[in-house]
Amino acid sequence: MTSIRVTVWNEFEHEKVHEQIRKVYPDGIHAVIADGLKKHGFTNVRTATLDQPEHGLTEAVLAETDVLTWWGHMAHRKVEDAIVDRVHRRVLEGMGLIVLHSGHHSKIFKKLMGTSCSLRWREAGEHERIWVVDPAHPIADGFGAYFELPEEEMYGEHFDIPDPDDLVFISWFPGGEVFRSGCTFHRGRGKIFYFRPGHETHPTYYHPDVQKVIANGVRWAAPTNGPAFTYGDGSAIHAKVPLEPITVK
C-alpha cells in the first residue's frame, strides 16, 4: 500500500470514435492504467480526461496530485495552453510526471524537453523486446534481462530528446529498429519518466510487465521534500544581503 496520490490523464478520444479501439479499452485507456496501479497497492488513484472542465486538471486536482500520468495522441492540439502551463509549473514545483507512448508529442512533454520529441514509427503489430540497461535503477525493480510484448506499434531512433539523466530501457523491434524506451529526467523539483509502449490498438496496458513498470515509475517519480523555489513564474531570487561579509571595490 502506498499513499502516493496519482492522477491518470487520458485524452479519451480514440476509444469513443473507433469501434476497434473501444473493444480493447471499453472504459478508456485511463481505466486500465488506474486498475494496474491499484493492483500494485496504490489506493489513491483518480482519473481525468480532456473532455472534462479544464481537462480535469484544475488547480485543486493538481495540488492534490503527487504523480500525473499522461496519455494522448490524436488530440494533442486540443489541450489548452493554460492547462499545459499549469502542469508545467506543477512539475517544476515537484509533481512527478509519467509520459506514456504517443505522449511524446504532447505539448507538456515537448515544453519540458525543449526539443521536437520526434521519432520514427510504424504500425505493423510487431512484437517488442525491452532490454534493461540500468539494472541498478528502481524502475527496473523486479525485472530480468528483458521483457517482451507480443504486439505493439514500432518507435525507432532517432528520438529527438535531451540525453536522459538515466536510460533504463532500450527496445528491439523485428523490423530493424531500436529505441530508448525508458528515460528519466529531473526538471526543477520534479521527476519525469518517459515509457514507450502503449499504442491504442493493442492491449498493452493490461500486460503485467507494463503495469509493473508504470507502478515502479510512479514510486520513483513521487515528490520528496527538497528545497522549494518559485520556479513556476520564473522569478529569480534577489539575495541582496550576502551570506558572507564582502568588500565592494
Longest distance between any two alpha carbons in the chain, whole Å: 75
Closest to a second copy by CB, 60 vs 77, is 77
Q: Which stretch binds a second copy (CB under 8 A): 4-12, 32-40, 65-73, 240-248?
A: 240-248
Q: From the CB of 177, what's the least distance to a second copy, in Å? A: 7
Say if residues 237 and 229 touch (Cβ distance below 8 Å).
Answer: yes
Options 1-9, 34-42, 63-71, 238-246: segment touching a second copy (CB under 8 A): 238-246
Cell numbers that stand for 202 in this block: 493493442
The answer to the question of residue 40 lying near a second copy (CB under 8 A) is: no
Q: Is 167 an interacting residue with respect to a second copy (CB under 8 A)?
A: yes
Among 191, 196, 199, 212, binds a second copy (CB under 8 A): 191
Cα-Cα-Cα-Cα dihedral sign, residues 189, 97, 37, 119: negative
Q: In the window 124-163, what residues touch a second copy (CB under 8 A)?
A: 124-127, 129, 131-138, 140-146, 150-151, 154, 156-160, 162-163
* Alpha-carbon distance values, 5 to 48, 95, 107, 127 (Å): 13, 10, 23, 33
Looking at the Cβ atoms of 80 and 134, the one nearer to a second copy is 134
Query: How far is Cα 131 from Cα 140, in angstroms, rounded to an integer?
Result: 10
Phi, psi of 220 (to 5 degrees): -65, -40
CB of 1: closest distance to a second copy in angstroms?
Answer: 16
From 122, 201, 203, 206, residue interacting with a second copy (rule: CB under 8 A): 122
Q: Least CB distance from residue 14 to a second copy, whole Å? A: 17
When the beta carbons of 34 and 119 are compared against a second copy, the nearer one is 119
Does the footprint of a second copy cover residue 174 (CB under 8 A)?
A: yes
Q: Does 210 bind a second copy (CB under 8 A)?
A: no
Residue 183's closest CA among 208, 161, 150, 203?
Answer: 161
**What is the length of the chain?**
249
Angle between helices 29-39 and 208-221 (to 10 degrees): 80
The stretch near a second copy (CB under 8 A) out of 13-21, 43-51, 52-60, 113-121 is: 113-121
* Beta-bridge mates of residue 68: 7, 97
Query: Strand, helix or coil at 188?
Result: coil
